[in-house]
Structure formats: C-alpha cells, structure tokens
Structure 1
Amino acid sequence: MTRFRPCIDLHAGVVKQIVGSTLSDDPDRPPVENFVAKRSPAEFAALYAQAQLEGGHVIMLGPGNEASALAALAAYPGGLQIGGGINPQNATRYLDAGASHVIVTSYVFRDGRLDEERLAEMVKAVGPRRLVLDLSCRRRAPGGPFYVVTDRWQKFTDLTVDGTTLRRLAASCAEFLVHAVDVEGKQSGVERELVEVLGRESPLPVTYAGGARSLEDLDLVAQLSCGRVDVTVGSALDIFGGGLSFDATVAWDGRQRAAA
C-alpha cells in the first residue's frame, strides 16, 4: 500500500522547499528556493500529527538547523524521522528527542565508496530497526544507472541504486529513503524508472521523493511500484506555495489506508 509521507526541509533554521540539484557549499551560489515558510517547523509537525500522517522526515540541509529540528520532533514525538549530518555521536540525541528513526547518507560513505566500518558504527549506535539509509541518487548520464550522491547531493559515489545494493544493505536498516535528485523540487513529474526499480527490488519499506505534483502522480507511484513504495510531496503542496491541496493529499492517503 503506497502511503503519503510528509516532509520538513530545514535550511538556515527555516522550513524551505529547495531545488535539490542547486545545493552547494559555495556561499556565492545560494540554492534556488521555491518556498520559504512563515510557519515554524513545530507548526508543520503539529499539522502532520493532527492529520495522522506517519513516517515523515525532517531533513537538515546544512548547519544551523538543530534547534528547529528538535522543536519539530517535540511537536510530534515518534511521528517523524530525521536526517542531515547524523552520525554515531549525535544520533541518540535525536532519538531521545522524539525521532522515530535517524536517516543517514554521507557519514557511511568516504571517498565515493560505501564505508562498511562506518555503517557498522551507525548500526551499533542505534540498531538497524531505528536506522534509515538515504540512497538519494542521480544519473551520471542520460539513460544510465542511478548513483547514490552524498554531501547535500553534490558528490557522486560508485554505488548504484539497484536490486543488488538494496538487498546488500537491507540487513543494516529498517527503511530506505530515496530522493530523485535531478527532479527534486522541480514539480516535473516522478522519475518513473527509479520508482519501478524500488518497487520491484527493495526488500524493505522505501519512500520515494522527487517531482510529484498531483494526485495522479501519487497514483502513478502506487501503480508503478505495485503499492510497495511510499511517496513524499514537497513544493507542489499548497502548504509550501504549490497548487496541490494538502487536505486532498491527506484524503488520498486515507483512501489508501481504507482500501488496504
């Protein structure tokens, strides 16, 4: 059963919707912002709690987001996952603050390769049942395979998102989170091939993010994945300045649950 999972993306302590491919460490190249919220992170978290939406994620895009993230977790204890700069030293702080899971990407990669020792450190620190591996990815070339990207989606690794990788990592985590970076924040439609791969190959629950802009896109994710992939919607939602009704999306999720 495909579910709608909400998100709270934090940049400089504020809820924003950003075009993912424009994130950079260069201070002279600020990211392209689709939306900057007036509501606080805690208000968004409370909205999701009221709508009984589970398994959403808070992503800290760079430094300066810790206080905002903790406020969101406090507003919806057990209802949100958190990612962005997570490591074995700080992970338990966020779990103790109310996160259901911690989401990790960059820490378990080094020099463009999966670091098995660092992955083992994360598993030891929090246990696989509370760990989500973020395998956000993009193509190196049109039509080619999807490669995991790290460090705010700027650096390619040598790890492809395919059945072999998903099965290999399944013992180390509870879920996967996968942003289709090339369409993230662009409201250009979902990355169909990636959704199909995730639905066909993932042995664990997996959430797809990127490009969804309508209820028809949510239906498409459900269809392409045979109901095995959940979906996040960001910039397209009216709560983030888009044209897709949040209430209608929550109602769509309710119909999914009722049909299960």
Structure 2
Amino acid sequence: MLLPRVIPILLLSGRGLVKGEGFKKHRYVGDPINAVKIFDAKEVDELIILDIDATRENRIPPLELVQKVADQCLMPFGVGGGIRSLADARRILSAGAEKVCLNTAALENPALVTELAENFGSQSVVVSLDVKKRLLGGVEVCTRCATKGVSRDPVETARRMEAAGAGEIMVHSVDRDGKMAGYDLALTRAVAEAVDIPVIAAGGAGSPGDLRLALTEGKASAAAAGALFVFHGRRRAVLISYPSREELAEIRGA
C-alpha cells in the first residue's frame, strides 16, 4: 500500500510564485526555481505547479520553466494551467512533468480526459474540482479560476471524471483556500468515498494536524497545501518549509 502523500502546491503568475486567499488577492512569494530547489532538498513527496494565468491567457505554462524544474529536482511533479489538448499535455509531459492537472478543459470537455488517459495512462491525469459555496446555499464546482460554476454536485462530477479516465481527483475548497483554518473535511470525505481513485485534499491547511485530518477524517490519499509551506508566523513572512520525517510519520499515522 502506498504511503499517504503530503504535497506542496506552487502557484505561478508570470515568472514568479504567488499565494492568495479564495483564489484572489495574490501576493508575490518568490522565485519558482529557488522554491523547487528547497523542496527538493527537503525530499518532498510530490509537487504540483499551477499557472493561474494560463487559461485566461489561452496558453500553457512556460515549457522552459517545466524543463528547469525537471532538471532541478528528483521528486515527481504535476503541472496545470491552460492545458486544452493532447498536444498541450504531450508538451508538458515531454518537458519533464509526470502529471498534468486539468480543471477547465476537463469539465468543459470530459473526452479530453479520456484521450489523455488512453495516450499517457490514467496515472498522468489529475482533475481538480474547485468547489465553492453558493450565495443561496449549497456548493458548486467551478472552472476558470473559480469564476464560472458548472455543477452543483461535486460527488457526481468526481464520478464522471473517474469514468472519463482521471487517475486522481484533487478537491480544492475555494472558500478555505489560503486561510489556513483547516480543510473542508466533509467535502473531501464525500468525494473520497464515492470514487475508487486517489483523492487529494486542498484548500485550508494551517498545521500538520490539518494534514493528518485530511488523511484520516477526510479519507484523502494525499494532503496538499500552499500557504502552510510558504508562510511562517502571524505576519505571514515568506519561508519555505515542509514537515520533518518525524512529523510526516505522525501525519501519516505510521
């Protein structure tokens, strides 16, 4: 049985890393390659890099950056942002990424998920479900950086993505993103119990205890976080961090 993973998420905007709250209010937090080097030295389980401008700008993440990341690290990493075709995914994977992470394209065109799975294997395809609360109650799955609602049923959407060929589902709580107040465990658990593929919890981690809860109460196969691994202290000073081996064993319950 594979050990549960703890995964830093890096958000790319332009040539720099940023972090915000609720997919908004992004601030610069550093150089992506420097961050990758630090995470590699800390022997992280896996890394996810998401270009938050790519879909809006109708492009894929910079291939030269993907190649630099691949050259700098031994850890597996996935890349997302603006990937809309087989050719786009092939370019990202050929540049050195192990996985592509889809949101808008997958939900608007599930056939793309199937096509990628058939060509590269399901293990290379991650679909992110960005979920936020609706003003009148309930939740909705969103695309285009959480600006467009496409479904009011995350569980049914996750099942459709699994049936299409996704190898993993990332459940990202938009409302909790960057606030470091804990994951939406009920949402993560509902999706995890509905599919047979790994589920990654994202959005809200503020402590190692939150990571553990995502894996236990949330039933996730992996706990991903952004702010937790790039900010330190009440003033949110930028400091790249990652749990020690002892902390990881406690998080995993090993």
TM-score normalised by L of structure 2: 0.81
Contact 1:4 1:250 in 2 (8 A): no
Over the matched positions of the two proteins, sequence identity in percent amounts to 23
* CA deviation after TM superposition for structure 1 residue 82, in Å: 0.6
Gaps of 5+ in 1: 23-31
The residue matched to 2:227 in structure 1 has which SS? coil
1:14 alignment partner in structure 2: 16
2:41 to 50, 57, 61: 50
Query: Offset of 1:168 from its aligned partner?
Result: 3.2
Once the two structures are superposed, what CA deviation does each residue of 1:131-186 show, in whole Å capped at 9, x if it has no partner?
11111211224652x32211111110025211x43333224021111210111112
Structure of greater relative contact order (alpha carbons < 8 Å, 6+ residues apart): 1
- Mean CA deviation greater in 92-101 or 197-206: 197-206
State the 4+ residue runs in structure 1 displaced beyond 6 angstroms: none
CA-atom RMSD in angstroms: 2.7
Instruction: Measure the CA separation in 1 of the matches of 2:226 and 2:246.
Output: 16
**Does the 8 A contact of 1:236 with 1:242 survive in 2?**
no
| Alignment gaps of 5+ in structure 2 | none
What is the aligned partner in structure 2 of residue 5 from structure 1? 7
Residues 1:134 and 2:128 are matched in the alignment: yes
Partner of 2:52: 61
- 1:1-260 to 2 correspondences below 5 Å: 2-22=4-24, 32-33=25-26, 35-38=27-30, 40-63=31-54, 65-66=61-62, 67-76=64-73, 79-87=76-84, 88-110=86-108, 115-141=109-135, 144=138, 146-158=139-151, 160-162=153-155, 164-171=156-163, 172-226=165-219, 228-237=220-229, 239-242=230-233, 246-248=241-243, 251-256=246-251, 259=254
Q: Residues of 2 paired with 1:72 and 1:186: CA distance? A: 27
Contact 1:7 1:233 in 2 (8 A): yes
The one-letter code sitting in structure 2 at the alignment partner of 1:235 is A
Cα 1:253–1:62 change in 2 (3 A) is same
Q: Distance between the aligned counterparts of 2:113 and 2:46, measured in 1?
A: 22
Inter-partner Cα distance in structure 2 for 1:245 and 1:41: 11
Output the CA distance in 2 between the equivalents of 1:204 and 1:48: 26
Aligned length: 240
